[in-house]
Structure 1
Amino acid sequence: MKKLILSAAIVLGTLSANATTNAIKVPLKQFITVQDEYKEIDAVPAAIKTALDNAYPGVKLDKAYINDKKEYKIEITVRDQKSVVYTDAQGNILKK
């Protein structure tokens, strides 16, 4: 009987020692936003408007930006879907 009580005390003692909570450390992620040196403009060349109308019927130009390489970043809305398109001055759509 003493052995039974002693073994039960040992088992309960080891179980309670393993029941402590360990803090889980989760690494923090940092997000860096890179400014791509585009400057907002009011109007885009007619070639760009024509190219966007042909590529995306019913397109609405929201905002337009230009960089030093004369590449345009254009925020558009097509059927309530917002998107960003990059073009050159001739209206060729660039892949970025």
Structure 2
Amino acid sequence: MKKLFFAAVLSLGSLTAFAQAEEAQADATDVVAVAQDDFTEIEVSTLPEAVSGAVAQNYPTATINKAYVNEAKQYKLEVSLEDGTSGTLYADENGNWIEM
């Protein structure tokens, strides 16, 4: 009987933990989606020197095609490389790379 009770408690505990982890993951996804939607396009020429310098130093063949900023002064940069590949980079106002 003790083993049956122990198994039931263990099962209930693991289900609760799984549900909480799923809820936390959903909340984190929502936050990132909101942050990404809050970017406003700006002129590339108005980027802080630290941001454009970070691109030049880390991606010397990159061209910044479009730039966006949000209220937290995080920058979203659409860049393309000489070889034709393109991507999106995120940086803070000090030129530090961030993951979004």
> Is the aligned partner of 1:50 residue 2:53?
yes
| 2:67 partner amino acid | A
Q: 1:86 maps to what in 2?
A: 90
Aligned position for 1:75: 78
Question: In 1, Cα distance between the equivalents of 2:52 and 2:81?
Answer: 14
| Per-residue deviation, 1:63 | 0.3
Amino acid in the other structure paired with 1:90? N
1:39 corresponds to:
40
For residues 9-66 of structure 1, give each alpha carbon's deviation from its aligned partner in whole angstroms, at most 9, with x where no partner exists: xxxxxxxxxxxxxxxxxxxxxxxx8661100001211111111111111110000000
Q: Give the structure-1-normalised TM-score.
A: 0.61
Deviating beyond 3 angstroms after TM superposition, the runs of 4 or more aligned structure 1 residues are none
Amino acid paired to 1:88: D
Q: Helix, strand or coil: the match of 1:54? A: helix
1:17 — aligned with what?
Answer: none
RMSD value, Cα: 1.6
Structure with bigger helix share is 2
For structure 1, list consecutive stretches of 5 or more residues without a partner in the other structure.
1-32
Q: Which residues of 2 match residues 57-72 of structure 1 at below 5 A?
A: 57-72=60-75
AA of the residue aligned to 1:94: I
* Structure holding more strand per residue: 1
Larger radius of gyration: 1
Q: How high is the TM-score relative to the length of structure 2?
A: 0.59
